[in-house]
Structure 1
Amino acid sequence: MSDQSGEHIHSWDDGRGLRKVLVDGQPVTHVIWCDTKVGIAVVTDYPLKSSNGEHVDFHPLWGEITVVPMEGA
């Protein structure tokens, strides 16, 4: 696993504002975190689901990850 700090790690609460996340050029929503260096994005389904009634289900997406800042965010 890569270093969990640096510009290649993005999460919803890292304080860098709103961003679009693309996996292999396709927009992806509900991203919890992603690593552009490794090429993984962890996302939730929408509507949110929970298999065990306690934690939200999530799954990884692998590919070329691109993160683009949104204007005015």
Structure 2
Amino acid sequence: MVEMGVPEPEEAEESVQVEVSGADRIAEPEQQMGNHSEQEEADADHPRLLRLPILLLLCLLIITGILAATFEVQVVQCL
């Protein structure tokens, strides 16, 4: 098949690998720095994301305590 101008499968795989490795090198330093700053911003928001589940758990415990206290009062009133 080489005579007809069609590359062998091995040659095609090599060309794809060269294109992929070349695409990785194209990124400019400015773009790389932009990606790092976005990552730093994501890391800065991480503690805020941890506060939300803790706050929700605290609210759930408070509501459960209120409901438990209300239920005990109703039981006492029924007796």
TM-score normalised over the length of structure 1: 0.16
Identify which of structures 1 and 2 has the higher relative contact order when contacts are C-alpha pairs closer than 8 Å and 6+ apart: 1
Higher strand fraction: Structure 1 or Structure 2?
1
Which structure has the larger Rg?
2
TM-score normalised over the length of structure 2: 0.16
